[in-house]
Structure 1
Amino acid sequence: MASIKDVAAEAGVSVATVSRVLNDHPSVSADARARVLAAVDALGYRPNAVARSLRTDQTRTLGLVISDVLNPYFTELARSVEEEARALGYSVVIGNADERPDLQDHHVRTLLDRRIDGLLVSPTDGGSPLMLDAARAGTPMVFVDRWIPGVDVPVVRADGRSAVRDLVAHLHGLGHRRLAIIAGPAATTTGSERVEAFRDALRAYGLPLPDAYIGQGDFQAASGRRVTEEFLDLAEPPEVVFAADNLMALGALDAVRARGLRVPDDIALAAFDDIPWFVHTDPPVTAIAQPTPELGRAAVRAVVDRIEGRPPRSVTLAATLVVRRSCGEPPGPPGPQDPYTPHTPHPDDTQRSTP
């Protein structure tokens, strides 16, 4: 393997000149720069990233801690983060918290110990002292999808309130009046926000949300199945179950089918977080879609801004309702996002604010 000394000899310059070229230092002549780059190409030289990080105090590495790698939403988010980071010259190390605060903090601590340049986190709860300490220490950090209230960190997220209102309006228009929700953990911002958005939307139509129609889930399929079974055991079961994430929706679908019932003939089903599988279920599931690839790219740009000394900013994008046939919709032609394609809004649709 070629060394930096080999490159210097091939180019006929000093090792210091090679180093300056590799670090984009402006004090190198165009001729010397061309000869060094030609030598690098000819010898197949690859700089030692570890040694460079010690000299520059940068590793060109980002850490990403996601809530659940098995959740297709977070899988798609991680992919877009990795792609955007690579385009900007960064690598990504991913930690899976598995919806466990202790595992989340383990990954955060490990990543910080390894001297990453920036951190992207989708918090599993709202009370991590480690996250607060990292923010106070000035760690370039961005919350994505979820956030911790009171922590001064930019947030990149989708606002689902308007889409939830659209969903309730849609369900009301179909004649449904008894609507229930499988909620995510109240300790997460997305868990509490989606319940409140659902409650507010029902209130606008004069519809109640009884305690019996609020089931506590944990963003996992098993909890969706358990809560749906509880709904079905009620003396007056709901007409619609709205699952606050995709995995809980799949669990709900399992529970309905295990009883020998059909969606939407016996009970309707809708979900937050659209996924590719929903177009292949019978019937296809009506869902709220988040602009996941755009969220991942915006999160990377936000944390790189902080790394490179630019002002921090939060980014909010809009979620959208995708109507299919799981709520008793009449048969019709597929909508603009059916079959499933990742949602890509026009850049002008992006709403930005500074925390």
Structure 2
Amino acid sequence: MKVTSKQIAELCGVTRGTVDRALNNRPGINEATREKIMKVAGELGYRPHFLAQSLVKGQTKTLGIVLFDMYNRIFSQLFHAFEAEARRHGYFVYLVLTNKDKALEIEYLNNLLDRKVDGIAMSPVNMGPTLDSFLKESGVPVVTFTNRVSAKVPFVWIDDKQAMKTAVHHIASKGYQRILYVSPPLRYKGKSNIYVPEQRYKGFIEACTELPDISYTVITDYDYLESLLRLIAESDEKPAILCSSDIYALDVMRFLKVNDIRIPEQAGVMGFDNIDILHYVDPALTTIDFHVDEIGRRAAEQLIASIQGRDIPRRTHVGYAIIERDSL
């Protein structure tokens, strides 16, 4: 049978208000009484009725987090950090996966709102004024990461454009004069929210413009590996293959090995994200590292601050660094 705060009050000889102050760690109660109430509650296996509390307090102590999927290790790392920070503040987290389906994303957002979550963190697939208005009208605080919605919605991530510029300059400093840039998501431009790939592409083009000795080709094909092989064969000049994420870089490295193209002797490869499975890759992949755990932690921290009525920045950038390994 479920134990109630009323029963605890009767057993301890105090009012329900005193029990409520003890269980919720609020002032106005002496320490001996608090300890007695907590001891009785523990012995009886008392668990708070969150639904009843939400009716009184207007909060459910729950958050929603909306991700593309868990195939990319970036998202699983980010979620673990987000959930740990939320739990530290006493929040339970609902996780939903959209699989980059725009209709499913809206359905899941509505489901989370129906469950009266106090706030939502999301990596959006949808974009534009329609999503902006939807989030505003939802009535709950929202924080985004990876893809941005608008300047009105708080965003926690890295400066992708500047980070990619840093990557290009690093490649040039290694003596490469030809770069093959692999970014298949760019073919969805205008069809879906690809803020991150677009920012990385802008950084790539800006950097190449600043380096007149660099020639480059951008590869966005679905069959990007075959296109890559053709472009490598067309020139005797050793290229650097710069990928918009480590996932593509790992595919490229596997494909080059299958086709007997040595890395880095015949082609250099560089990724972006520094996902944790790179520890098992040979040759070790040069990449851009950023603090994914910090993004998850700060997204949760800022979302909770917003729920509490505090002002939070509209844009938060975490740091990044080149991790130089053997593939360039």
Q: What TM-score results when the alignment is normalised by the length of structure 2?
A: 0.88
Paired position in structure 1 for 2:44: 43
Aligned-residue offset at 1:31 = 4.8
Identify if the C-alpha distance between structure 1 residues 267 and 171 changes in structure 2 by more than 3 Å, giving closer, same or farther.
Answer: same
Paired position in structure 2 for 1:108: 109
Paired position in structure 2 for 1:67: 68
Task: Point out where structure 2 has 5 or more consecutive residues left out of the alignment.
Answer: none
Identify if the C-alpha distance between structure 1 residues 160 and 320 changes in structure 2 by more than 3 Å, giving closer, same or farther.
Answer: farther
Aligned-residue offset at 1:207 = 4.3
Paired position in structure 1 for 2:199: 193
Structure with the higher fraction of residues in helix conformation: 2
Paired position in structure 1 for 2:243: 243
Identify if the C-alpha distance between structure 1 residues 125 and 286 changes in structure 2 by more than 3 Å, giving closer, same or farther.
Answer: farther
Paired position in structure 2 for 1:173: 173
Aligned-residue offset at 1:59 = 1.0
Q: Give the AA of the match of 1:47.
A: P
Q: Are the counterparts in 2 of residues 84 and 297 from structure 1 also a CA contact under 8 Å?
A: yes
Find the residue that maps to 1:146 and give its secondary structure.
coil
Matches within 5 A, 1:1-355: 1-127=2-128, 129-150=130-151, 152-183=152-183, 184-185=185-186, 186=189, 187-207=193-213, 213-216=217-220, 223=222, 226-234=223-231, 235-236=234-235, 239-313=239-313, 314-327=315-328
Identify if the C-alpha distance between structure 1 residues 319 and 161 changes in structure 2 by more than 3 Å, giving closer, same or farther.
Answer: farther
Q: Are the counterparts in 2 of residues 126 and 189 from structure 1 also a CA contact under 8 Å?
A: no
CA distance in 1, matches of 2:121, 2:179: 35
CA distance in 2, matches of 1:204, 1:307: 44
Find the residue that maps to 1:262 and give its secondary structure.
coil
CA distance in 2, matches of 1:163, 1:191: 12
Identify if the C-alpha distance between structure 1 residues 268 and 172 changes in structure 2 by more than 3 Å, giving closer, same or farther.
Answer: same
CA distance in 2, matches of 1:207, 1:109: 51
Q: Give the AA of the match of 2:225.
A: T
Find the residue that maps to 2:271 and give its secondary structure.
strand
Q: Are the counterparts in 2 of residues 229 and 255 from structure 1 also a CA contact under 8 Å?
A: no
Deviations 1:57-111 (A, max 9, x none): 2111111111221100111000100111111111111111222222222221211
Q: Which has the higher contact order (CA 8 A, sep 6+)?
A: 2
Q: Are the counterparts in 2 of residues 240 and 269 from structure 1 also a CA contact under 8 Å?
A: yes
* Cα RMSD (Å): 2.2
Q: Are the counterparts in 1 of residues 120 and 140 from structure 2 also a CA contact under 8 Å?
A: yes
CA distance in 2, matches of 1:305, 1:296: 14
Identify if the C-alpha distance between structure 1 residues 194 and 108 changes in structure 2 by more than 3 Å, giving closer, same or farther.
Answer: same
Aligned-residue offset at 1:277 = 2.0
CA distance in 1, matches of 2:238, 2:275: 24
Aligned-residue offset at 1:113 = 1.2
CA distance in 2, matches of 1:26, 1:288: 48
CA distance in 1, matches of 2:213, 2:113: 48
CA distance in 1, matches of 2:246, 2:74: 8
Q: Are the counterparts in 1 of residues 69 and 75 from structure 2 also a CA contact under 8 Å?
A: yes
Percentage of pairs with the same residue: 27
Q: Give the AA of the match of 1:199.
A: I
Q: Give the AA of the match of 1:6.
A: Q
Identify if the C-alpha distance between structure 1 residues 208 and 106 changes in structure 2 by more than 3 Å, giving closer, same or farther.
Answer: farther
Find the residue that maps to 2:90 and give its secondary structure.
coil
Identify if the C-alpha distance between structure 1 residues 133 and 62 changes in structure 2 by more than 3 Å, giving closer, same or farther.
Answer: same
Q: Are the counterparts in 2 of residues 180 and 238 from structure 1 also a CA contact under 8 Å?
A: no
CA distance in 1, matches of 2:111, 2:229: 44
Aligned-residue offset at 1:177 = 1.0
Find the residue that maps to 1:272 and give its secondary structure.
coil
CA distance in 2, matches of 1:83, 1:122: 18
CA distance in 2, matches of 1:207, 1:95: 46
